Amino acid sequence: MSEQALSSFGTDRARKRLRRRRAADRRFKWYGRAAIGFALAALALLLASIFSQALSAATYHVVSFRIDAGRVVAAENTSGALKEVYDQVRADLFEAFPDASGTPAGRQEVSALVTRLAALPIAERLRASPARRGMEQVSLPLSDDVDLYLKGAAARQVTINFGPVAAEPTEDGQGVRLSGAGAFARLIAAASLEHANVTDVSFLVTGGRSTVRLTRLSADEAEGSLIAGTASEFGNRALCARIILAPQSERTVSDRQIAWALALKADGRVRRVPHWSLLTHTDSTQPELAGALAAIVGSFLTLLVTASLAIPVGILASIYLEEFAPKNRLTSLIEVNINNLAAVPSIVFGLLGAAVFLGVMGLPRSAPIVGGLVLALLILPVVIIASRAALKAVPDSIRQGALAVGASRMQTVFHHVLPLAAPGMLTGAILGMARALGETAPLLLIGMVAFVADVPRGPGDEASALPVLIYSWATQAERAWEPMTGAVILILLAFLIAMNVAVVYLRHKFERRW
Amino acid sequence: MDGSAAGNEVVVTPEPAGTLALGDAPRMDCRNVNVFYSGKQAIFDVSLPIPDRSVTALIGPSGCGKSTFLRCLNRMNDTIEGCRVEGEIIMDGKDINSPVIDPVLLRSRVGMVFQKPNPFPKTIYENIAYGPRIHGLAQGREDLDEIVEKCLKRAGLWEEVKDRLTVPGTSLSGGQQQRLCIARAIAVRPEVILMDEPCSALDPIATARIEELIDDLRKRYCIVIVTHSMQQAARVSQRAAFFHLGKLVEMGDTDQIFTSPRDRRTEDYITGRFG
Amino acid sequence: MADHIVSAFTDELDRLSADILRMGGIVEQMIADAASAVLHNDVQLAGDVIERDHQVDQIEGDVERQIVSLIARRQPMAHDLRSVFAALKVSGELERVGDLSKNMSKRALGLEAAVFPAMRSGVARMAQPVARQLHLVLDAYASGNAAAAKAVWESDDEIDQHYNALFREMLTYMIEDPRSISDGAHMLFMAKNLERIGDHCTNIAEFVYFQVTGEHLVQQDRPKY
C-alpha cells in the first residue's frame, strides 16, 4: 500500500490526493484572509462612522460684533461684564433686524441667534486687560441650532438658484411679488419631486440680505411675506430658493432665524472657523460653547494618580512573586486570584471605590484622586500579569550565569533580569494605563460624571474624564451634541493611539532577543 | 587539530601518578552525598574526592545525576525549589553545605560554566568586569582593565576581541561566547571551575579550542566537567567518575576507566552497549 | 557481553576475530605440515606450506586495514579497544609464525634425502607440543578464556626444555658424523624456529590475557634465552 504510493507519483489516486490537499490549503488561507478582512472592515466602519460624525464638529460658525471694550472693562464684576457684552451684542442684532425687534417674542427670537453664555469668554478676556478702550472686533459662536442649519445638518433642504426676476412690494407692504415668464418652473419641478408645497413647508427665497417666505407659487409668479430685509432687494439679481423639507414646528430653528443668519452671512459677518474651543473650553450646557478641556485635564490627573500607584506597586509585586517568593500553595493561590481579579468587571471596582474611598475614607466625590485610586486597583492585576510575563521571558540562563559568578539573588534581579524585562514591563504598564484611560463605568459610580465647568487644578478638585464626557454628551438630546461626541471620541482615540505607539516604539528600541 | 593534539597528550604523556593519587589532599572531598528533589532521591550516597589542578570528568547516561551532583559543588541546587542535599562536601576543611557558609561567597570560589553559552547581554568588557566589581576585586579602572585583559588572555579570547571590547557579548560566535563565559568565571578568581557540558552546543573546532583551554586551565584550577562525549572525557580529563541511576558506579584514572573499567556497567556504557 | 547499540560495530569486531582465527587455523596447519614434510622428506608438502604463507600475509594485511578503519570510525573503548589492539598484535604474531613455518619448509627442501631419520623425527616430535600450544592459545582467544591463555603462557618452559634436549641430540649426531653437519645445522635452525613459535604463542597468550582482563601478565623469571 504505502510502497505503491511512494513508488508512483503519477497515479490517479496520488494526483487526486494532492489536489484535495492543495484545495484544503487554499481554503484555509482564504478563511484566514476572510477573518482578517472582516475585522479590518469592522474597524474601518467604526472609524468612518466616528469620523463622519465628528467631521462637522471640526469647524463652527462665529459672528463678528463690534464691542465697546471700555464699557465692559468698567463693569464691576464678571457677570456685569458678561451682561454688558451680551447687551451690546443684542443691541447690534436688534439694529440689524429692526422689523423683528418691535415685539418681545421677536426680540427673543433674535437674541437666540447667540447664546448669552457665549459672551462669557469675551467678557473675561476683556476684563483680563483693563487697559483696553474703544471699539473691539469680537467673534461669538452662533447658537448650535443655527450653526447646524448653516452646516446643512439641521433639516433636509433643496436649494435652487434662479433669477433675475421682477420684484414689487405687495399691496400691504408686508410681502413681495416676484414675476418672470417661466422663472419658477424649476422650483415647482423640484418641489413636486419632493411632494412639497408652500402650505406645508417653508419655501424661502433669498436675495442679498433679504428673504421672503413664499405663500403662493406658480410657474410665472410667486408671492410671499417678507421675513427679513426689504422688497427692493429682490429685483434684477440672482436669487436663491430653499425648500426646507421639515415644517417649522418640527425644527429648532425658525424661518426668521434662518433668514437672519443668511443676512448676516451676506454681510460677511458669519465665518466658519476651526472649532478650537473644543479643546480650550470646559463643559457647558450649550453645545457651541462646550469643550473637553476639563475632561482632558481630569483624565490626565486621574492617570497620574493611577500611574503613581499602580506601576510601582504592580512592578514590585511582580518582581517579588516571580523572583523571590517561594512556589507553594499560598503563592499559587495568590497567582490564581490575581488572574481572577483581572477578569472582574470594572463596575465592581467602581462599587468598591464608592464604598471604601468615598464611604469609609471620606475622600471627595468626583475627584481624580478617587478615580485614580479605583483605576489603579482595576489595572493592578493587568500590570502584574504583564510584568510577570516580561520577567518570565528573561531566560533562566542569565540568572544562572549571574548566580554562578557569585551575584546575590537581589544583584541578579536588579543588575541582569530587570534591565532585560524593563521594556516588557513598561509595555504592560502603558497598556494598563491605556485601559484605565478608556474606563467609564467605575468613574460613573464615584461621581466623576458630574457637570464640571472649571478646569480642575489638582487631584482633589471636582473633575470629569474623557470617556465619562463621551457618555454624558452621548446621552444629551440636542442634535448638536452628536458631532461633538464624535469629536471627543476622536480625542480619546488619539490619546490611546499615542500610548500604543509609545509601546511599539519602546518594544522596538529596547527589546532583546536570545 | 587542537583537539586531537590535546587528546594525544592525554594518551602519550600520561600525568605523573603523584598529582592524581588519592593520597593527596583533594581540593573538594564529597562524602556520602544524597540529593532529593521534592522527596525523590536523585543522588545516592556518592563519595568522590576531587583532586586539585586536574580535570575530573563526570560521565554517565542522561538523567544519571551527574549534573545534579555538579550543581551540589557550588550549591546551585539551592536555587531549585524543593531540593535537599545531605552528606558532606568538604572544601578547606569546612562543609560547604553548613549554614555558616554563604552560598554567594562559595560561588565566587567555585565558578561554573554552563551547557549553553550564556553571556550577559552586555558588552564583552562588562561581562568580565561584572564579577570582580560586585566582589570588590578591582581597586580602580586600570585594575579592572588589567583583570579583563588577563582573563581574556587566559581564556584564549584576547587576540580575537581586544579591538572590540565594547560590542555585546552575545554578538560573538558560540565558541567565543563559551570562552567568554569561562573568562567571566575565572575573573572572580575561583579555585574550582565546574563545567556542565560546555561543548555540547559547539562545533568540533570550537570544541577543540575549549578542550585546549581546559587543558591549559588545569595548571591553575581544579576543574570538574560533565560531558556526554566519551571521547571528550577521555581527551580532557585525568580522573573520571561514572554515574548511573544516581549512583557513583566507578571512579578512577581516565586511562584506566577507558581502557579497562572495572565495573560491567561502566564498560557497557563507554563501549556503547546501553544508552 | 551484550551487543553494541550500533550492531554494525559488533559485526565488525566479530569479523575481525573470525579472520584472526582463520589465520590461526592456517598457521597451525602450516606448522604441522612443515613438520610432516621434514619427517617424510615430502617436497610437495613443503612447497605447499611455502605457498600458504602468501595467504597468511594477505589475511594479515586485510586485518590491519580493518583495524585502522575501525579505530577511525568507531573509536573503540575499554574491552573493544583491547580487542582491537589484541587483534592487531595477534595477527602480527601469527604472521611471524607463518614466516617461521615457511622457513622450516624451505630448509626441508634443502635437506639431503639420506639425512638421519632420527634427526628428522626429533624435529617432528618437537613440532607437536608447539602446534598444541598454538592451538590452545587460539582456543583461549576464541573463547575469551584468560585462565587458558595464562596456562599457555606458563607452559612455555616445556618447549624450551624440548629445544634444549633436541639441541644436545643434534650436537651429538654432528660430532659422531661430520657429514651430517650441513643437515644438522638446518635442523638446528628448524628447532630454533619451533622454539620461536613457542615464544610467539606466549606473546599471543599475553595479548589474549590483556584483551580479556585489561591487565598485563608481568614478566616473571620465566626461562628465556
Which one of A324, A405, A511 would you mutate to disrupt binding with B, by most B Cβ within 10 Å of its Cβ?
A405
- Position B24 scores a pLDDT of 64
Phi/psi of residue B111, nearest 5 degrees: -80, 170
The pLDDT-based confidence of B226 (bands split at 50, 70, 90) is very high
The pLDDT-based confidence of A512 (bands split at 50, 70, 90) is low
Q: How far is B181 from chain A (nearest CA, A)?
A: 8
Q: How far is Cα of residue A125 from the mean position of the Cα atoms in its chain?
A: 26
The whole-number average pLDDT for the span C117-145 is: 92
- Position B13 scores a pLDDT of 36
Domain assignment of residue C17, yes or no = yes
Pair A315, A450 in one domain: yes
Angle, in degrees to the nearest 10, between helices A418-438 and A293-319: 140
Does pLDDT of A353 surpass 50? yes
- Write the DSSP string, A35-56: HHHHHHHHHHHHHHHHHHHHHT
**Taking the CB of residue B114, how many other CB atoms lie within 10 A of it?**
20
Phi/psi of residue B222, nearest 5 degrees: -95, 125
B131 and A CB contact within 8 Å: yes
CB-based contact B260 C214, cutoff 8 Å = yes
The pLDDT-based confidence of B4 (bands split at 50, 70, 90) is very low
Our CA angle for A110, A112, A116, nearest 5°, is 120
- Position C219 scores a pLDDT of 67
- Position A76 scores a pLDDT of 82
**Taking the CB of residue B72, how many other CB atoms lie within 10 A of it?**
26
Domain assignment of residue B21, yes or no = no
Domain assignment of residue B15, yes or no = no
C2 and B CB contact within 8 Å: yes
Residues of chain C contacting residue B259, judged by C-beta atoms under 8 Å apart: 77-78, 81-82, 214
A403 and B CB contact within 8 Å: yes
State chain C's maximal CA–CA distance in angstroms.
Answer: 68
Q: How far is A496 from chain B (nearest CA, A)?
A: 32
**Taking the CB of residue C212, how many other CB atoms lie within 10 A of it?**
22
Cβ–Cβ < 8 Å for C101, C31 = yes
CB-based contact B81 A416, cutoff 8 Å = no
What residue numbers bound the domain in which B213 lies?
27-270
Q: Is A176 in a helix, a strand, or coil?
A: strand
Our CA angle for B169, B170, B172, nearest 5°, is 75
B23 and C CB contact within 8 Å: no
Our CA angle for A417, A423, A426, nearest 5°, is 110
Domain assignment of residue C156, yes or no = yes
Residue of C nearest to B259 (CA): C78
Return the percent helix, strand and coil in chain A, to nearest 5: 60, 15, 30
C102-112 residue pLDDT tens: 999 999 988 87
> Under the phi-then-psi rule, with left for phi > 0, alpha for psi from -120 to 50, and beta for the rest, what region is B166?
alpha
Domain assignment of residue B8, yes or no = no
Q: What is the CA radius of gyration of chain C?
A: 19
Domain assignment of residue B243, yes or no = yes
* Closest residue by Cα to residue B171 from B161, B162, B156: B161
> Under the phi-then-psi rule, with left for phi > 0, alpha for psi from -120 to 50, and beta for the rest, what region is C205?
alpha
Does pLDDT of A117 surpass 70? yes
Cβ–Cβ < 8 Å for B108, A406 = yes
Whether residue A164 is preceded by a cis peptide bond, meaning omega within 30 degrees of 0, is yes
Torsion of the alpha carbons at B173, B175, B179 and B180, rounded to the nearest 10: 20
A148-195 residue pLDDT tens: 888 888 788 888 888 788 888 888 878 888 888 888 888 888 888 888
CB-based contact B259 C4, cutoff 8 Å = no
Angle, in degrees to the nearest 10, between helices C146-154 and C156-176: 30
- Tally of domains in chain C: 1
B249 and C CB contact within 8 Å: no
Pair A123, A189 in one domain: no
Residues of chain B contacting residue A421, judged by C-beta atoms under 8 Å apart: none
- Position A8 scores a pLDDT of 64
Chains touching chain C, criterion 3+ CB pairs below 8 Å? B
CB-based contact B260 C213, cutoff 8 Å = yes
* Closest residue by Cα to residue B132 from B193, B175, B183, B79: B183
Q: Is B83 in a helix, a strand, or coil?
A: strand
Domain assignment of residue A231, yes or no = yes
> Where do we find the cell 466658519?
A272
CB-based contact B272 C4, cutoff 8 Å = yes
Q: B147: which residues sit within 8 A by CB, 6+ positions away?
A: B128, B129, B132, B137, B138, B187
Q: Which of A259-263, A444-448, C94-98, C127-131 has the lowest mean pLDDT?
A: A444-448
Which one of C79, C83, C216 would you mutate to disrupt binding with B, by most B Cβ within 10 Å of its Cβ?
C79
The pLDDT-based confidence of B20 (bands split at 50, 70, 90) is very low
B176 and C CB contact within 8 Å: no
Whole-number average pLDDT of chain A: 88
Cβ–Cβ < 8 Å for A415, A308 = no
B136 and C CB contact within 8 Å: no
- Position B15 scores a pLDDT of 40
What residue numbers bound the domain in which C52 lies?
7-213
* Closest residue by Cα to residue A136 from A85, A206, A79, A193: A85
Which DSSP category does A363 fall into? P
Q: Could you give the CA distance from residue A491 to residue A51 in angstroms, rounded to a whole number?
A: 11
* Closest residue by Cα to residue B233 from B205, B197, B262, B187: B197
Does pLDDT of C139 surpass 50? yes
- Tally of domains in chain A: 3
* Closest residue by Cα to residue C188 from C209, C174, C204: C174
Residues of chain A contacting residue B181, judged by C-beta atoms under 8 Å apart: 401
Element (H, E) at B251: strand B247-253
The pLDDT-based confidence of A451 (bands split at 50, 70, 90) is confident
The whole-number average pLDDT for the span C152-177 is: 90
Chains touching chain B, criterion 3+ CB pairs below 8 Å? A, C
Q: How far is C188 from chain B (nearest CA, A)?
A: 42
Domain assignment of residue A119, yes or no = yes
Cβ–Cβ < 8 Å for A141, A62 = yes
Q: How far is A337 from chain B (nearest CA, A)?
A: 22
Q: How far is A420 from chain B (nearest CA, A)?
A: 8
A223-236 residue pLDDT tens: 888 888 888 888 88
Does pLDDT of B19 surpass 60? no
Q: How far is B20 from chain A (nearest CA, A)?
A: 27
Domain assignment of residue C222, yes or no = no
Q: How far is Cα of residue A484 from the mean position of the Cα atoms in its chain?
A: 5
Domain assignment of residue A129, yes or no = yes
Find the CATH number of the domain harbouring C99: 1.20.58.220
Pair A316, A400 in one domain: yes
C79 and B CB contact within 8 Å: yes
Q: How far is Cα of residue B140 from the mean position of the Cα atoms in its chain?
A: 30
A5-51 residue pLDDT tens: 455 677 888 888 999 999 999 999 999 999 999 999 999 999 999 99
Domain assignment of residue A491, yes or no = yes
A329 and B CB contact within 8 Å: no
Q: How far is C25 from chain B (nearest CA, A)?
A: 29
A310-337 residue pLDDT tens: 999 999 999 999 999 888 899 899 999 9
Domain assignment of residue C218, yes or no = no
- Position B151 scores a pLDDT of 93
Residues of chain B contacting residue C81, judged by C-beta atoms under 8 Å apart: 258-259
Cβ–Cβ pairs < 8 A, chains B and C: 46
Domain assignment of residue B173, yes or no = yes
What residue numbers bound the domain in which A239 lies?
155-251
Q: How far is A128 from chain B (nearest CA, A)?
A: 58
Whole-number average pLDDT of chain B: 87
Domain assignment of residue A353, yes or no = yes
**C-alpha dist (Å) from residue C47 to C43, C51, C104, C109, C120:** 6, 6, 11, 8, 18
Q: Which of A56-65, A310-319, B51-60 has the lowest mean pLDDT?
A: A56-65
Pair A180, A132 in one domain: no
Residues of chain B contacting residue C1, judged by C-beta atoms under 8 Å apart: 268, 273
Element (H, E) at C56: helix C43-74
Residue of A nearest to B187 (CA): A405
Domain assignment of residue B7, yes or no = no
Pair A305, A192 in one domain: no
Pair A109, A217 in one domain: no
The pLDDT-based confidence of A378 (bands split at 50, 70, 90) is very high
Find the CATH number of the domain harbouring A159: 2.40.10
Domain assignment of residue B9, yes or no = no
Domain assignment of residue C105, yes or no = yes
Domain assignment of residue B222, yes or no = yes
The pLDDT-based confidence of A132 (bands split at 50, 70, 90) is confident
Pair A231, A183 in one domain: yes
Residues of chain B contacting residue A411, judged by C-beta atoms under 8 Å apart: 134
Examine chains C and A and say if they touch (3+ CB pairs below 8 A): no
Does pLDDT of C181 surpass 90? no
Find the CATH number of the domain harbouring B39: 3.40.50.300
- Position B199 scores a pLDDT of 92
Q: Could you give the CA distance from residue C193 to residue A237 in angstroms, rounded to a whole number?
A: 147
- Position C222 scores a pLDDT of 54
Residues of chain C contacting residue B258, judged by C-beta atoms under 8 Å apart: 77-78, 81
Residue of B nearest to A401 (CA): B118
Pair A486, A455 in one domain: yes
